[in-house]
Structure 1
Amino acid sequence: MNIARCLDTIDRLCSRPFPAEHGWSDVGREGPGYFIAEWGAADPDCVQGERTADDVEAFREGIAQLLDARWGANPPWGMLTLRVRGERGEEIPEPWASISAQADDLRIWEAPGTGRWIALGVAHAAGTAGARLVAVVTEVEPE
């Protein structure tokens, strides 16, 4: 994985207009008010071979350190509460509903002056090859 390319993608998503409909962009899923980018073992920015969850977690923390320096450090935000609320029938807005089903915790920042939130997590979806780094850029405030 390449930290500079991941940061460039996050920066581009922070300035790109959000789509009106749900769909796919050049970096992953998108919808009204959000983008979700994913990087995994099959991504051209990754080193050949399978990445363990520990490798992807370390990579996330490397990016998080740079974003902490930019926007200030925040503690990890656990996804269990959102999952439980969703299971109880509460409507959780996107992209938080999707990301809470994929990652156990997120690192979250608000990009000053943009009205956008940035989140980084490690996704462990069933039926996929290995862990993936997931970046969310959204105007939907975390709940």
Structure 2
Amino acid sequence: MTIAQHLATIDRLCSQDFPAEHGGSFFGPGGPGFHIVELERSAGAAEGEEAEQYEAYREGISQRLTDRWGPPDHISLDGVFLRAHQGDEHIQEPWASLGSHVRNVHLWQPDGHGRWVALGVSRLGPGQEFRLLAVITEIHPP
């Protein structure tokens, strides 16, 4: 897909109702208060150069969103992962599951939406594919 198509998907999800229950929609996983959409996925096990490619792709989409909404916050999710697994604190979805496979996100809160838009690159583990994810949520980041 092209960057323009990804932006159209993000725009659509910004105005679409959230699923009533955990599970998802046509676009991907979701639940009360959030949508997660996979914009791109590597073909298989990926290393080195492909990681840079996915980060560059995120930067391209991020620049277009920055042109619309201003500069994003850059949020590390490493602490979210630790807090969720220590059990000391309840981390709400989608942030709890994102923290387990997304290191950081670019985050905006566009005017008029009441929603957050995040872009991140997911990798479940060594030898696993990369996924470029967009998250649209009304749940405040932890």
Structural mapping, 1:32-111, within 5 Å: 32-38=32-38, 39-41=40-42, 52-89=50-87, 90-111=89-110
> What is the aligned-residue RMSD (CA, Å)?
1.7
For residues 26 and 73 of structure 2, what CA distance do their matches in structure 1 show? 30
CA contact (8 A) 2:73 2:108 kept: no
Match of residue 5 from structure 1: 5
CA contact (8 A) 1:52 1:130 kept: no
**Equivalent position amino acid for 1:30 in 2:** G
Give 3-state SS (helix, strand or coil) of 1:105's partner.
Answer: strand
Match of residue 19 from structure 1: 19
Deviation of 1:128 (Å)? 7.5
TM-score computed with the length of structure 2 as normaliser: 0.89
Deviation of 1:119 (Å)? 0.2
Match of residue 114 from structure 1: 113
Deviation of 1:129 (Å)? 4.6
Deviation of 1:24 (Å)? 2.5
**Structure 1 range deviating more: 8-17 or 76-85:** 76-85
For residues 73 and 23 of structure 2, what CA distance do their matches in structure 1 show? 31
Cα 1:8–1:82 shift into 2, 3 Å: same
**Structure 1 range deviating more: 50-59 or 27-36:** 50-59
For residues 73 and 115 of structure 2, what CA distance do their matches in structure 1 show? 18
**Structure 1 range deviating more: 125-134 or 111-120:** 125-134
**Equivalent position amino acid for 1:79 in 2:** L
- Runs (5+) with no aligned partner, structure 1: 43-49
The alignment-based identity, stated in percent, is 46
Deviation of 1:126 (Å)? 3.2
- Runs (5+) with no aligned partner, structure 2: none
**How many aligned positions are there?**
136
Give 3-state SS (helix, strand or coil) of 2:100's partner.
Answer: helix
